[in-house]
């Protein structure tokens, strides 16, 4: 656990664990990340100063480095500029919703690019997103109602049934991971979660910078 | 098209070996979850870990959606390109 994130006492979601997952003040992760980390595995060891019991996979640590987030943020800003230009600025609610969806898709695509095509979910995102968008809303409805009762019933029957059901649910959440075996699925999931965390960090930082810039139109001293 | 044979659930005795692998992977996954690090209990069942993972991913998705909305609103309101230059400056700082 990073000392910086905790001692600052800032309002942070999941701050105990995802060391750097700070939603406000995207600057905090500057401090914790490590003086000269540019994607090195030293990032995860030198930043905390406290050895954690579970060593994190080096492939996951790349999502927490400063360099990776900076690369992602740059790509995202460029994509956002394109999003801003293409749709005409109408005032209808439909346009707003479509615009936020375009932002979300641009962010996801940039995230998939940042993964450098080594994971299934990133390849699935890049190859096409329409399926996931349509299927997701319908999936949410039956899940919360039936899953708890079914889980309790299945738990009596035996472990595999519950695990399989939950694994299927998990596979539906991660893009492109529906038919995977459990070990592969779990690997994809852990990478996906780390990537999502970085995405949230980067987008929060951009949103904060943008709102600060728009609220102070005069050139603020940096 | 994955060339992997679907060997997700084998009902035979080979599933015992697979169970160990599964528990190992599940514990690794647990290390990524935020709550597990607070509790630090090794007796969390695999199903619970999967459930927590599902919830966590969903909450992350929601967060990204909210941030996208916020960003799209900000993009709509901010017209000048100097603001974006300020963003890039602050990001590269």
Q: What is the per-residue pLDDT across A41-72, written as a single tens digit (0 to 9) for each? A: 444 444 444 555 555 566 777 888 888 888 88
Cβ atoms A34, A47 nearer than 8 A: yes
Report yes or no on A76 lying in a domain.
yes
Instruction: Tell me which residue has tokens 């799209």.
Output: B72
Report yes or no on A215 lying in a domain.
no
Provide the pLDDT for residue A36: 39
Report chain B residues whose CB lies below 8 A from the CB of A159: 46-47
Report yes or no on A111 lying in a domain.
yes
Report yes or no on A114 lying in a domain.
yes
What is the span of the domain harbouring residue A106? 60-86+96-136+162-205
Long-range contacts of A128-131 (CB under 8 A, 24+ apart): A129/A105, A129/A175
Distance CA(A136)–CA(A200), nearest Å, equals 20
How many structural domains are present in chain A?
A: 1
Q: Answer with the residue of higher pLDDT: B82 or A189.
A: A189
- Whole-structure pTM value: 0.63
Residue count of chain B: 93
Q: Answer with the residue of higher pLDDT: A30 or B21.
A: B21
Confidence of residue B43 (pLDDT cuts 50, 70, 90): low
Report yes or no on A31 lying in a domain.
no
Out of A146-150, B43-47, B80-84, pick the least confident. Answer: A146-150
Distance CA(A210)–CA(B71), nearest Å, equals 8
Cβ atoms A175, A121 nearer than 8 A: yes
Report yes or no on A169 lying in a domain.
yes
- H/E segment holding residue A82: helix A66-85
Strand, helix or coil for residue A185:
helix
Give the other-Cβ count within 10 Å of B48's Cβ: 16
Report yes or no on A5 lying in a domain.
no
Please tell me which of the candidates B8, B74, B88 has its beta carbon nearest to residue A181.
B8
Please tell me which of the candidates B47, B74, B89 has its beta carbon nearest to residue A211.
B74
Q: Answer with the residue of higher pLDDT: A57 or B55.
A: B55
Report yes or no on A48 lying in a domain.
no
At residue A9, does pLDDT exceed 50? no
Instruction: Tell me which residue has tokens 């293409």.
Output: A86
At residue B62, does pLDDT exceed 90? yes
Report percent pLDDT > 70 for chain B.
54
Distance CA(A198)–CA(A66), nearest Å, equals 10
Provide the pLDDT for residue A32: 38
């Amino acid at each position: 656990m990073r000392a910086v994130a905790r001692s600052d006492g800032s309002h942070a979601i999941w701050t105990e664990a995802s060391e750097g997952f700070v939603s406000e003040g995207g600057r905090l992760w500057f401090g914790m990340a490590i003086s000269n980390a540019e994607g090195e595995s030293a990032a995860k060891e030198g930043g905390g100063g406290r050895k954690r019991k579970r060593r994190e996979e080096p492939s996951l640590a790349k999502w927490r480095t400063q360099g990776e987030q900076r690369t992602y943020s740059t790509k995202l800003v460029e994509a956002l500029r394109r999003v801003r230009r293409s749709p005409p600025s109408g005032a209808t609610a439909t346009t707003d919703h479509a615009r936020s969806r375009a932002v979300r898709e641009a962010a996801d695509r940039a995230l998939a690019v940042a993964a450098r095509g080594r994971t299934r979910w990133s390849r699935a995102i890049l190859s096409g997103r329409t399926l996931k968008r349509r299927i997701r809303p319908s999936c949410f409805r039956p899940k919360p109602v039936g899953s708890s009762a079914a889980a309790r019933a299945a738990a009596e029957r035996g472990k595999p049934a519950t695990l399989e059901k939950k694994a299927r649910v998990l596979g539906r959440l991660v893009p492109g991971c529906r038919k995977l075996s459990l070990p592969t699925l779990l690997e994809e999931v852990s990478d996906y979660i780390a990537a999502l965390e970085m995405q949230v960090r980067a987008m929060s930082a951009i949103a904060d910078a943008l709102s600060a810039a728009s609220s102070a139109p005069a050139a603020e001293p940096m | 098209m994955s060339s992997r044979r679907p060997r997700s659930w084998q009902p035979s005795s080979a599933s015992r070996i697979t169970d160990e692998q599964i528990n190992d992977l599940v514990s690794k996954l647990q290390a990524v979850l935020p709550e597990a690090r607070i509790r630090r209990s090794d007796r969390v069942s695999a199903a619970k870990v999967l459930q927590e993972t599902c919830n966590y991913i969903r909450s992350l998705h929601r967060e990204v959606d909210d941030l996208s909305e916020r960003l799209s609103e900000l993009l709509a309101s901010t017209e000048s390109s100097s603001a974006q230059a300020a963003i890039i400056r602050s990001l590269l700082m």
